[in-house]
Structure 1
Amino acid sequence: MSGLFDPVPFGGLTLPNRIVMSPMGRGRTSADGTPLPVMAEYYAQRATAGLVISEATHPSPVAVGHAHSVRLHTAEQARAWDEIVHTVHSAGGRMYLQIMHAGRISHPDLHGEVPVAPSAVRADGVARIFRGKPAYPMPRPLTADTIAATIEDFARCASTAARIGFDGVEIHGANGYLLHQFLSPVSNVREDEYGGDAEGRIRFTLEVARAIAAEIGPERTGIRLSPGFPLNDMSEPDRADVYPVLLDALDALGLGHVHFVAGSDLDLVHELSRRWRRTVVVNAGTGPLDTGATLTAADKALADSADLLSFGRQFLANPDLPERLRTHAPLNAWNPRFFYEGGSRGYTDYPVLAASAAGPAG
């Protein structure tokens, strides 16, 4: 059997396996983004992962991209996350917080402000707000002062995460959100030091990473990237030139891991994975709900320079995913109806092996 179930050092920890629970926003929050108690049960159910990475969490109100997205910038939100982390640790797990700013993939209905972005370049598409599906508005470009304030928001959120017990932080630099927007010459047409050539466009991402690493330590800081992934109206015509420069600069900071998103430019991901000197996490994608095929794909990914593999919807539907893969047990199917709403339904009621003979819940 592959090394998927071997222990591995990571960020000062020893992970019991190479299986990571990928970040997945599931909308189980109050209107102001405070985690609901059901989230503690959900994450603790999946604590047998080598590492649990939280859903994308916003460090300020204007960073919010979708209705019922989770946040961490108030004392009440910190108390709710503290309970989640404590519950995961009590179940024997390890947990990182993912921090994300949506940038132009937002709407004033969510926070009362015009969304911010590198440049005044509107994204094509519709916003996920509390009522209706309006088009994304034209964003306002970040100024030098608001860039500095945004970096401070990231650093403050990371510091809070460390204080309440998270084992580390993953920066969301993927999927068309703010950091990704800075990397593209299509969404970033600035003419100052944060735009122009590759060195200019990677600067904001580097400054966010440097600030977080200074707060919690570089070995406990990672970043998620999606080179060439077109989600959220992204286009990166010069990605083969930009990402090697970015990876080398992040490597020089000593960051602990880089996490590549399924759907990225696969050839470029392979090149970047070989370039990175520390831990590489690769998202396995949804794929077929077949244990054998999943294990075959895992073996290939590990042979192709991945150190850890992250699973999203497979982990949503299979709280005991590591044990199912280890024993070649069948996988539960996920229910898209309850991806973003439904309380415990389609969230904490998926059966584990001991109970799965009764069939999937719901």
Structure 2
Amino acid sequence: MTDNLFQPYALNNTIELSNRILMAPLTRCMADDDLVPTRAMADYYGRRGDAGLIVSEAVIIRPDGQGYPNTPGLFTPEQIRGWSEVTAAVHKNGGKIFAQLWHTGRVAHPHFFGGGEVLAPSAVGVEGTVPRMRELTYQTPKAASHEEIAELVKDYAQAAANAIDAGFDGVEIHGANGYLIDQFLHHDSNRRSDEYGGTPQNMARFALEVVDAVAGRIGNDRTALRISPGAYFNMAGDSRDRTVFDYLLPELEQRELAFLHIGIFDDSTEFDYLGGRASAYVRANYGKTLVGVGSYSPESASSAIDEDKFDLIAIGRPFIANPDYVARVRGGEALVPYSEDMLATLV
């Protein structure tokens, strides 16, 4: 039985979801060469409007945040207009949609923004090549100055305002999966000794500054955050990371966000320094609305919600394979299996 997935859920007094199923952010690399969302993208999201909430693919807040080809932006008038077509398509079908705000930090590449420096907490790079463009090797980043950090905070807030102008119902700040904000939160990538590094309070400072700037601009009721307490993607784990999140989570709880979203590919993954799963760790240390994700079936998600492991479930790849995912699950119909060749087109 999966009946609890179809219960309405109020994020707050501003936003009520028609069900507990979220479409997870799924990078598709299908924007045009100016990083403007296309009509095909609007149709793609519109077809999935019966999700309780769609979290868009990650959207870069400014040119030097780009680390993959044809990922959409939210910093030019043309991009805002493109996204307005997407949000209109979702709303026409009765849905709600948040923009996921993104800067890739040390996994950005100058190829995408005409040259220049890659910004990160510290001058510590990652090895390897850019996905989908294997000829591009990652660069050693520059440790962001205080002035550059302040500009980044302002640009996150401006992107949030742009999202509201484009018709989004809110934003999810991407603070997970080894990208810029997450890089400040882990010792592997943050080697600073100033007020942005070294101690849990300092390492959490940038994340909280971004959250506060965005919430101050568009409201905490329209602001959400995704986090990865367990390092697992473009990041090495460190047992000291736990104390950073031990500090961060109570601070976030005080801010009355729309929700907190776990960033993990498979929630069965356990982290010794978190004492088990990332979702269990966050649930034990954060009392507000929590979104689980990571290889859940409708049945396992329903059971997890029944057991109060989280409040909402984000579904990823099955939504690529099944635009009508919610209707299929509600009707007890078989789901179309996901396959990698589905990434070639927007259906």
Q: TM-score, normalised by structure 2?
A: 0.92
SS at the partner of 2:136? coil
Shift of 1:159: 0.6
User: What is the distance in 1 between the residues matched to 2:339 and 2:160?
Assistant: 32
User: What is the distance in 1 between the residues matched to 2:278 and 2:320?
Assistant: 28
Matched, 1:331 2:328: no
What residue number does 1:36 align with?
Answer: 38
Q: Output one character per residue of 1:290-345: Cα deviation in whole Å (capped at 9) or x when no partner.
A: xxx53134312441431100000011111111111112211112231242xx3xx3
CA contact (8 A) 1:34 1:80 kept: yes
Matched, 1:81 2:91: no
What residue number does 1:8 align with?
Answer: 9
Shift of 1:238: 1.9
Structure 2: which 5+ runs fail to align?
Answer: none
Q: Output one character per residue of 1:182-214: Cα deviation in whole Å (capped at 9) or x when no partner.
A: 011121011110000111100000000000000
Shift of 1:241: 1.7
Shift of 1:32: 2.5
One of 223, 248, 251 as aligned partner of 2:250: 248
User: What is the distance in 2 between the residues matched to 1:69 and 1:249?
Assistant: 31
CA contact (8 A) 2:124 2:140 kept: yes
User: What is the distance in 1 between the residues matched to 2:138 and 2:78?
Assistant: 30
CA contact (8 A) 1:22 1:312 kept: yes
User: What is the distance in 2 between the residues matched to 1:29 and 1:236?
Assistant: 36
Higher mean displacement: 230-239 or 307-316 = 230-239
What residue number does 1:48 align with?
Answer: 50
User: What is the distance in 2 between the residues matched to 1:295 and 1:113?
Assistant: 48
SS at the partner of 2:107? coil
User: What is the distance in 2 between the residues matched to 1:44 and 1:179?
Assistant: 30
Matched, 1:280 2:290: yes
What residue number does 2:211 align with?
Answer: 209
Shift of 1:268: 4.2
Structure 1: which 5+ runs fail to align?
Answer: 288-292, 349-362
Matched, 1:315 2:319: yes
User: What is the distance in 2 between the residues matched to 1:279 and 1:128?
Assistant: 33
What residue number does 1:354 align with?
Answer: none
**AA paired with 1:337?**
D
CA contact (8 A) 1:6 1:16 kept: yes
User: What is the distance in 2 between the residues matched to 1:99 and 1:45?
Assistant: 22
CA contact (8 A) 2:188 2:235 kept: no
Higher mean displacement: 242-251 or 166-175 = 242-251
After TM superposition, the structure 1 = structure 2 runs for residues 98-113 of structure 1, keeping only pairs within 5 Å, are 98-111=100-113, 112-113=115-116
Percent of residue pairs bearing the same amino acid type: 36
User: What is the distance in 1 between the residues matched to 2:56 and 2:301?
Assistant: 24
Higher mean displacement: 34-43 or 255-264 = 255-264
User: What is the distance in 1 between the residues matched to 2:301 and 2:292?
Assistant: 11
Aligned-residue RMSD, C-alpha:
1.6
Aligned length: 336
What residue number does 1:351 align with?
Answer: none
User: What is the distance in 2 between the residues matched to 1:323 and 1:234?
Assistant: 39
One of 122, 134, 137 as aligned partner of 2:125: 122
**AA paired with 2:188?**
V
